[in-house]
A and B are shown apart, each in its own frame.
Chain A
Amino acid sequence: MFFEFPFEIPYLLTLLLVVPLTGAVVTLAMGGKRQKYAKYSAGVFSGITMLLSLVLLFTPDLSVYNESYPWIDTAGLRMSYILTVDGLSILMVFLTGLLVFLSTVFSAREKDRPNCFFALMLAMEVGLMGVYTSADYFLFYIMWEVTLIPMYFMISWFGGPRRHYAAIKFFIYTHVASLVMLIGIFALVFGAAGGGIADFSFEAVLAGSVAFGSTFQMLVFGLLFFGFAVKMPIVPFHTWLPDAHVEAPTAGSVLLAGVMLKMGSYGIIRVCLEVLPEGAQYWQPIMIFIGVLAMIYGAYACIAQKDLKKMVAFSSISHMGMVMISMACLSSTGIEFAIFQMFAHGLISAVLFMVCGMAGHSIGTREIPLLGGIAGKMPVFAAFMMFGFMASLGLPGLVGFWAEFGIIFSFYDYSVSADMIWLIAFCLISLLLTAGYYLWAMQRTLFGRLTDRIDLSHIHDVSRPEAIALGAICALIALYGLWPDLALGFVDGYASSLAASLGVI
């Protein structure tokens, strides 16, 4: 590594939880007359969190930051407070820190109850950081649910006209899914305990998992997979996502698409693939099918959307479908690029949702048919939008290209080895559709004759905080696009060891 962080910060992972939590409380307290300071408080606390997560990227040996303390030990159950970070989680932790900070910057002009708004974002950050760092199923589940409530309030307080419906739908879908996941977790923990104390730590469950029979692995994989995949989301259970995105405020959408959806794929890799390799083998065709379905259906649905933000929401479904097929390959490259795509899509979707948010905010509408020729009026906005769309459709030189390239590469490998070479056609169709809907949307909104269907008298181009946030993410998209090894370097070791354990069967 070209630069190493010179010293070790004690309790770094705990700080990743404590700093945003403190920030949430402090920011929430800035009501009434102190409202104008809320954004500074949120900026400082999320900034510190981002810097802390950045330190991790420059730490050669991540295991120095492992923390483990006994927590609950009673009547045959043992839960511990264990935090770790490894090749799978480090990019997600960084992404969380980055996106929370940048969407705070982006929303700096929030006027409506800013203290509540920023406090909810910081509260969400606690849950997200917790999900990605906890190494105990009890803690993991708690953190998983902790992300839910701030998001619910985020949508239903600051959302669009149909926010109540969207918020409750989001809550019920994901909560029911997490209860199914909880059943799966119970099964894992008690199955792994095998007569001894039921230890909820990842380590103990992994150690006990050698005793799992095939039927057990199959069933439990199904439960856990369902729980995680609804969050991702998968196609028949995806309908909460477009609603939630359309109604959520911009910062909420950025976090929802950027890091919350990744909780689902993270869970599948971390729990399903790591602990239940035999179940993974059994479910592989179904995962491929679901992934392909999400990929194609999401892209296809994009074409029909009139709302720019809804289109981006469906494109998220399509891109998460790519993550699914990639990890379903169960190969080293497949897993590696699934994780890389999670990271890439986190960056790109942040740009896309910020752009959509600005369209709604500055132009006054996100309806594609009402727009046209905006590029002339808002050149900076148009540049960011084009950049985001190009990154998302996989323009070489940007981060999305490498992710999709790797995914198609590993999927090709899989389809050859499975003797179903025609499967690769779906990837190509999806790429074609993706390029199609993005270019078509761009053409209709940015170029052509300036629209006369809406009042353009008071539209304004990108404001400074918005430009800073967008510029930073775009720079990262380009940086990781030119130098993907910066991110892949972390994932490499993890992916090959996981693939090795999957091949052991």
Chain B
Amino acid sequence: MIFDSSVVTAIFGQFAPLAPMIVLIIGALILPAVFFSTKRREAVTAVSMAVIAVSLLFNILMMVDGYQGEYAGLFSYDAFAGIMILLFQVVIFLAALVSVSSSETTRMHYGAYNSLLLAASVGMMFVATASDLITIFLGVELASIMSYVLVAMKRSDPRAAEAAVKYVIIGGLSTALTLYGLSMLYGVAGTTNIADIAASLSTQEFSWAFGIAMITMIAGYGFKVAAVPFHMWAPDVYEGAATPVSMFLGTGSKKVGFVALFKVFLVIFVAANATASFATEEIQYVFAVIAAITMTVGNVVAISQNNIKRMLAYSSIAQAGYILIVMAVMTEYALASGMFHMFTHVFMKGGAFLVVGALITVGIGEKISDYRGLAKRAPLIALAMAVFLFALAGIPPLAGFTSKVFLFSSAIYDNGVMTQWIWLAFIAILNSAISLYYYMRVVKAMFIDRGETSERIKIPRTFAAAVAICFVFVCVLGVFPQLIMDFCADAASVLFG
């Protein structure tokens, strides 16, 4: 075959493991120039789409080919990195595609906006490829700092300023905690390479320094994934930011925290588990409790929300709770299902945010009551929104149902043995039942309540295309999960050695 990963290695040489990121970095650097020289938003979008497409192409070539490689002991590209990079590429693609016609980005410096989006996604991909604590930290910071600016860029809205300030302060706190934890971990293990840390720890006894490192890192990354009790910032930020940015944060940026958690915790504990002198089970319980509380709080608080962006934010918190099941169960199968759920979440939640953004652009508000009678005004968009919400609630045969079945069953069963986490699966299933209620409120408003007008709405074409992409994937992944699940299973087996 002509098109395989040898194309990538031929072009990038020793930097091949970083190929998808390098393309995006180049794009991020030239985009402001494109905007200066053309002053056209369409041109900027065209260039960034092209850049993302090239990056996507490289990544898919490398993934399908099973390419593996590492750079300077800091980055390594493997099946895990590949699938996570793909996830971030999907997110960035959707966000960049819709931003051009969103009414919320009109007053921004559009070149800088796109440049920041690309740079943030590069940070995320760094985390996915990192094999060292330093690169994980750098990647998370790159993504976070770009995100602060992206939130603050919506200058027309005072809520955005409030959101940005909150985000910066909480983000700073989270960074400090994480860094503190990382330094303790370095102190214990004497190295920053993750694999070496695992090897070094497997010969050691449990120490308090290690315990403190774990707790501060859970807190630090807990802020990133918006786990309860570190979730307070998320609703404000998602509400205040421009909707394409909310979508980017809710589906992409949040996953960075998970990728970091997977990389650090799973590798360390699975390697250290052999010695059994480590507090693996205690840490698992910590995560299990956080997961249970996170999903419950997210779902219960979402019921009382009237602003749809805040509702989606709380639903994101609940979904983070589901994904945290992976950290409690800590099995290969759980990881694969968790990654698959992250994928389906991109399309379900991303799709829902995109619909919200599209409707804001055509002048419909953010209140759930503003959605009354939408099915008459924009039947296809209303149908798509209903499908996304039903998928989030776990109604079969949509993607959210299938990924929840995988994820929850991983808490029940592992390789023929019932796990001790059945109670967690119970709580998760009960939570799914609760969540249906607030999703149904939106569906009811759209399809059943009568609106004030029945004037037809014309959705901008880029939004329609992005929503259509999400719609197709939500339906297809529900029925044919193995399109992605097989890659997730490979990725999980890489991380578990």
Contact B429 A75 (CB under 8 A): no
A145-184: CB near B (< 8 Å → 1, else 0) gives 1101100010011000000100110011001100100110
A353 at interface by CB-CB < 8 Å? no
Given contacts A149-B395, A156-B444, is CB(A76)–CB(B415) below 8 Å? yes
A168 CA / B438 CA spacing, docked (Å): 11
Shortest CB–CB separation between residue B466 and chain A, in angstroms?
24
A198 CA / B401 CA spacing, docked (Å): 18
Contact A146 B444 (CB under 8 A): no
Note all chain B residues with C-beta closer than 8 A to A73: 482
A153 CA / B437 CA spacing, docked (Å): 15
Cβ-defined partner of B485 (8 Å) among A74, A149, A157, A175:
A74
A72 at interface by CB-CB < 8 Å? yes
The majority secondary structure among interface residues of chain A is helix
A194 at interface by CB-CB < 8 Å? yes
B209 at interface by CB-CB < 8 Å? no
Cβ-defined partner of A75 (8 Å) among B337, B390, B433, B436:
B337
B408 at interface by CB-CB < 8 Å? yes
Note all chain A residues with C-beta closer than 8 A to B425: 183, 186
Chain B's closest residue to A177 (CB) is B433
Contact B390 A198 (CB under 8 A): no
A195 at interface by CB-CB < 8 Å? yes
Chain B's closest residue to A193 (CB) is B416
- Total A-B pairs, Cβ < 8 A: 85
In the complex, chain B residues 444-497 whose Cβ is within 8 Å of any chain A Cβ = 444, 447-448, 480-482, 485-486, 489, 492
Shortest CB–CB separation between residue A169 and chain B, in angstroms?
11
B186 at interface by CB-CB < 8 Å? no
Contact B413 A190 (CB under 8 A): yes
Cβ-defined partner of A182 (8 Å) among B336, B429, B437:
B429
Contact B433 A198 (CB under 8 A): no
Contact B489 A195 (CB under 8 A): no
Shortest CB–CB separation between residue A73 and chain B, in angstroms?
7
A138 at interface by CB-CB < 8 Å? yes
Contact B448 A145 (CB under 8 A): no
A456 at interface by CB-CB < 8 Å? no
Count chain A CB atoms within 10 A of each CB in B414, B448, B480 and give the residue with the most.
B448
A10 at interface by CB-CB < 8 Å? no
Given contacts A175-B433, A190-B412, A194-B416, is CB(A76)–CB(B333) below 8 Å? yes
Chain B's closest residue to A175 (CB) is B436
Chain A's closest residue to B480 (CB) is A72
B67 at interface by CB-CB < 8 Å? no
By size class, the interface of chain A is: 20 to 34
A141 at interface by CB-CB < 8 Å? yes
Shortest CB–CB separation between residue B69 and chain A, in angstroms?
26
A236 at interface by CB-CB < 8 Å? no
A77 at interface by CB-CB < 8 Å? yes
Shortest CB–CB separation between residue B61 and chain A, in angstroms?
24
Contact B416 A74 (CB under 8 A): no
Note all chain A residues with C-beta closer than 8 A to B401: 142, 145
B46 at interface by CB-CB < 8 Å? no
Given contacts A75-B336, A75-B406, A183-B426, is CB(A145)–CB(B396) below 8 Å? yes
A175 CA / B433 CA spacing, docked (Å): 7
B375-418: CB near A (< 8 Å → 1, else 0) gives 00000000000000010000111000110011011001111111
Shortest CB–CB separation between residue A160 and chain B, in angstroms?
14
Contact A168 B440 (CB under 8 A): yes
Shortest CB–CB separation between residue B172 and chain A, in angstroms?
39
Cβ-defined partner of A74 (8 Å) among B397, B408, B448, B481:
B481
Note all chain A residues with C-beta closer than 8 A to B482: 72-74
A196 at interface by CB-CB < 8 Å? yes
Note all chain B residues with C-beta closer than 8 A to A72: 402, 480-482, 485
Given contacts A75-B333, A146-B397, is CB(A172)–CB(B390) below 8 Å? no
Note all chain A residues with C-beta closer than 8 A to B418: 190
Contact A138 B405 (CB under 8 A): yes
Contact A149 B433 (CB under 8 A): no
Contact B417 A195 (CB under 8 A): yes
Shortest CB–CB separation between residue A266 and chain B, in angstroms?
18
B432 at interface by CB-CB < 8 Å? yes
A182 CA / B395 CA spacing, docked (Å): 12
Note all chain A residues with C-beta closer than 8 A to B413: 76, 186, 190, 193, 198
Note all chain A residues with C-beta closer than 8 A to B395: 145, 148-149
In the complex, chain A residues 288-347 whose Cβ is within 8 Å of any chain B Cβ = none
Chain A's closest residue to B335 (CB) is A75
Chain B's closest residue to A144 (CB) is B396
Contact A77 B440 (CB under 8 A): no
A157 CA / B332 CA spacing, docked (Å): 46
Contact B429 A142 (CB under 8 A): no
Chain A's closest residue to B432 (CB) is A179
Chain B's closest residue to A176 (CB) is B433
A139 CA / B384 CA spacing, docked (Å): 23
Cβ-defined partner of B408 (8 Å) among A75, A172, A176, A186:
A186
Cβ-defined partner of B489 (8 Å) among A75, A145, A153:
A75
B430 at interface by CB-CB < 8 Å? yes
Note all chain A residues with C-beta closer than 8 A to B489: 74-75
A186 CA / B486 CA spacing, docked (Å): 22
A362-385: CB near B (< 8 Å → 1, else 0) gives 000000000000000000000000
Chain A's closest residue to B395 (CB) is A145
Contact A172 B444 (CB under 8 A): no
Shortest CB–CB separation between residue B342 and chain A, in angstroms?
15
Contact A146 B448 (CB under 8 A): no
Contact A156 B448 (CB under 8 A): yes
Shortest CB–CB separation between residue A54 and chain B, in angstroms?
28
A69 CA / B43 CA spacing, docked (Å): 49
Note all chain A residues with C-beta closer than 8 A to B432: 179
A198 CA / B412 CA spacing, docked (Å): 11
Note all chain A residues with C-beta closer than 8 A to B336: 74-75
Given contacts A149-B395, A186-B425, A195-B416, is CB(A164)–CB(B448) below 8 Å? yes
Shortest CB–CB separation between residue B94 and chain A, in angstroms?
26
A184-222: CB near B (< 8 Å → 1, else 0) gives 001100100111101000000000000000000000000
Cβ-defined partner of A196 (8 Å) among B390, B396, B416, B481:
B416
A-B contact pairs, 14 of them (CB 8 A): A72-B481, A74-B486, A75-B332, A75-B337, A77-B406, A138-B405, A146-B397, A153-B447, A156-B448, A186-B425, A190-B409, A193-B413, A194-B416, A196-B416
B interface list, Cβ under 8 A from A:
332-333, 336-337, 390, 395-397, 401-402, 405-406, 408-409, 412-418, 425-426, 429-430, 432-433, 436-437, 440, 444, 447-448, 480-482, 485-486, 489, 492
A interface list, Cβ under 8 A from B:
72-77, 138, 141-142, 145-146, 148-149, 153, 156-157, 164, 167-168, 171-172, 175-176, 179, 182-183, 186-187, 190, 193-196, 198
**Sample of 17 more A-B contacts, CB < 8 Å, known A179-B429, A183-B425, A183-B429:** A75-B332, A77-B406, A142-B396, A146-B397, A156-B447, A168-B440, A172-B436, A172-B437, A175-B436, A179-B430, A179-B432, A182-B429, A183-B426, A186-B413, A190-B409, A195-B416, A198-B413
6 nearest A-B pairs in the assembled complex, by CB-CB distance:
A195-B416, A142-B396, A190-B413, A142-B397, A75-B333, A156-B448
